[in-house]
Structure 1
Amino acid sequence: MYDLNEARQIIQRELPEEPNLHSLASSFATIIEFLNEFPDYLSWKGKTRPNLEKLADKYISGYLHTDLPAKPGTIPDQMVSVIMNQFYEYEEAQLEFIKVSHQHSMCAENCVGALLERYISSYATDWSWCCGNFVKAIDFLQKDNNGEWHLLQIKNRDNTENSSSSAIRKGTEIAKWFRTFSKTGATNWDNLPPSLQHHGLSEQGFVDFVINYIRINN
């Protein structure tokens, strides 16, 4: 088992000297407490169980990581342009623009989920954000005054693949919420879990957050 006092000391020592990061120490300690109780939910490559320093580094790196679209890493299949031209009758002059736009669209889509988690974490400060990718199947967790765990998995769309794990023990389940319906485009903010509904989260709030985030970090 990990020592919670040591976890707090390590994360406070490793955090950059920024006042807005102080809440991370409490969140990290809560996540470590959860992993002590449910060690099978630690996600880590390799046979050796990581020490607290490694987990703290992973957690801080996950939080400080900039969630902006990556540069396209693959070359588009030229046959796609042939089909676009012959079947959809796009002009030759349009095809290069469409090809590049599609690459950019895919890169943008790939970062929406991470930005969604970041938006929620910026307002739902009573929840611990499991950034750093070392907790299986859970994006946010919270322990109430009765010692009960509340676990949440966030997805951007209803057709995004969810982890098959939904219950970790009798009486403790992973709640799942998605932002948009893939077939209609409608949003799902009205169906947030009750414990998140008082934070004022909304689609317009998410849009404003993303615009501001890109302006600051781009």
Structure 2
Amino acid sequence: MRTKTLGMNYLESSIKYRIEHKDYQPLQVDIVNKKWIDKSQEKFKNNKGLERWATVQNINYLNEINAHLYKNKMTLKELDEIKSNAESFIDNFNKQLLKIDDEIYTLEKMAGSFKEYKDSYSIMYSYKAAETEEERNKIKHDNNHVFRRYDIVKRNIKFLKSKYNISDEAELQRKLSTLKNDRNLLYGSLNVKGENVIDLEHLEQQKNRERKEHHSL
């Protein structure tokens, strides 16, 4: 499978970031890091041992939720709201990361377009200046790759100029560097060891403050 289907922590750029930052600890979405097991599935009906195991797992899961609610003096509804807010927060980050990754991928494919266009200029000029069809055919045959790339490169340059106001290779590389830096800052902000991370504890504290303010009215 494509690793990005596993979530933003498994995007190629995210994996590279974590390799380069050994102490990085991604923010977890789940408040209680287990899932309710649906025992209505066929595999549980045909395996009593597996069904008993799933029952025990679900009981433990409920106990963890109950302990979490008691510790934080929360209702199940408040827990659901916090979980929903956290999932929405993560989903928003995921979309931002994908957008930046797609932009980086697009621009990296266009890298070198300005040099290719400049290098092909003399060949294209010779082709247009050729006096006979035979001369043009020979130039095209000898420089087949240049001719195949020429229209692509022209489209790339037109796109870069119209969307980013980029007119040379140096500007393109600066834009790529900025995007990659922005991407690292965005993903790095989800490090649970970082100072700026908005984690579940923050969301819970916010909910507690709202509840206290409500009771004081």
Q: Which has the higher contact order (CA 8 A, sep 6+)?
A: 2
TM-score by length of 2: 0.23
**Greater strand share, structure number:** 1
Q: Larger Cα Rg: Structure 1 or Structure 2?
A: 2
TM-score by length of 1: 0.23
